[in-house]
């Protein structure tokens, strides 16, 4: 399961994820037009519960989406209101 908090967020959002296998993941924050609005986070994650903080202080109020990709699989997981 994936959790995104606080919701709505202010200057920082935290993604809490649980992975069944270790892998390389790319985390993106997208605006409603699908443009990346925060620097992409690329990281190798191990199995189990993981957390990533995303700096959202430069984003204007609005709705954004968090996308997590691993290999050829991309999943837009949750909206992020600011």
Q: pLDDT band at 2, cuts 50/70/90? A: confident
Q: Mean per-residue pLDDT for 30-51?
A: 94
Could you identify the residue written with the tokens 């996308």? 67
pLDDT tens track for 3-39: 889 988 889 999 998 888 889 999 999 999 999 999 9
Altogether, the residues listed in the chain come to a count of 82
Write down the pTM of the prediction.
0.84
Nearest to 18 by CA among 47, 54, 42, 61: 47
Region of 49 on the Ramachandran plot (φ > 0 left; ψ -120 to 50 alpha; else beta): beta
Provide the pLDDT for residue 19: 84
Structure tokens at 63: 């709705």
């Amino acid at each position: 399961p994936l959790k995104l908090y606080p919701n709505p967020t202010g200057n920082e959002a935290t993604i809490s994820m649980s992975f069944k296998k270790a892998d390389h993941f790319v985390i993106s924050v997208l605006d409603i037009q699908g443009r990346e609005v925060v620097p992409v986070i690329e990281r190798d994650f191990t199995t189990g519960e993981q957390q990533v903080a995303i700096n959202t202080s430069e984003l204007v109020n609005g709705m954004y989406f968090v996308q997590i990709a691993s290999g050829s699989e991309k999943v837009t997981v949750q909206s992020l209101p600011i």
